[in-house]
Amino acid sequence: MEISRQLGLEAETVALDTAIASGRIGPPEYAAQVYGLWKELTEEHVAAAFTAAPWLTGIQEVWTEIREAGDYCAVISLSPSFFVERLTQWGAHAAFGSRFPALPFREPVDPAGLMSSAAKVRIAAGLCTEFGVGLTDCVAYGDSLSDKDLFEVVPVSVAVNADRHLEGRATHTYTGRDLWDAYELVRRAR
C-alpha cells in the first residue's frame, strides 16, 4: 500500500487489496495487476515507502531479544522481495517476499516467484533446515489468509491485527501497535 501511495495509486491498490482479501483474485492476479500499476516505480519510491510504512513499534527490539537468546527470526511475506528484504537491516536473519523483476521494471512478473500460503510453509521448512531447528520449534506471527497454512504446521502462532481468515487458527491473538506486546504473549505462555 505504501509503495502505491508513493506513486499516487492508493485507491487502485485498496481495490486490489479488497479483491485478494475476499478471495476474488489470488496472488498471481494481484501481482500482475500491481505490476501494471507500478510501471513508474523506482528505488527512491521504494526507500520512501519503507520509511513511511506504518510499522509496528518494537520490531527491532524483539528481533534483538530473539538473536540474543540464540534463536532466529525471519520474515516471509506476500509483499515484494525488494521491499521485504530491507528488514534484514533491522535484524531479521532472513526475509522473503514475492519476487518481482529488478527496478525499473523491464521484464514481466514470473508467477513461479510469487508468494503463497503454501510457499510460506516451504520457505519456513527450508529455513528450519538451514538454522537446525524444526517447525515444531517455531512461532508464527501473521495477519491474513496467506498465513493460514503456516499456522497449521507450527505449534504456536500469534494473529496480529488479523483479518477474519485467521479467526480460531492462532494460539494467541494480539490487537495493537507494539510487536513487543505480541511477543510477550508467547514468552509468558512458555
Which residues, 6 or more positions from 152, have their beta carbon under 8 angstroms from its beta carbon? 169
pLDDT at 167: 85
Whole-number Å distance between alpha carbons of 138 and 154: 6
Pick the CATH number of 55-189 from 2.40.30.20, 3.30.1490.20, 3.30.70.260, 3.40.50.1000: 3.40.50.1000
Tell me the domain boundaries of the chain: 55-189
pLDDT in tens, 64-95: 999 999 999 999 999 999 999 999 999 999 99
* Residue recorded with cell 535484524: 91
Indicate the pTM of the whole model.
Answer: 0.92
pLDDT confidence band for 145 (50 / 70 / 90) = confident
Please name which of 147, 155, 141 lies closest in space to residue 63, comparing C-alpha atoms.
141
Q: How many other CB atoms are there within 10 angstroms of residue 107's CB atom?
A: 8
pLDDT at 7: 97
Q: What is the phi/psi pair of residue 22, to 5°?
A: -85, -10
pLDDT in tens, 103-114: 999 999 998 999
Q: Give the residue-averaged pLDDT of 136-159.
A: 95
The three cell numbers locating residue 156: 504456536
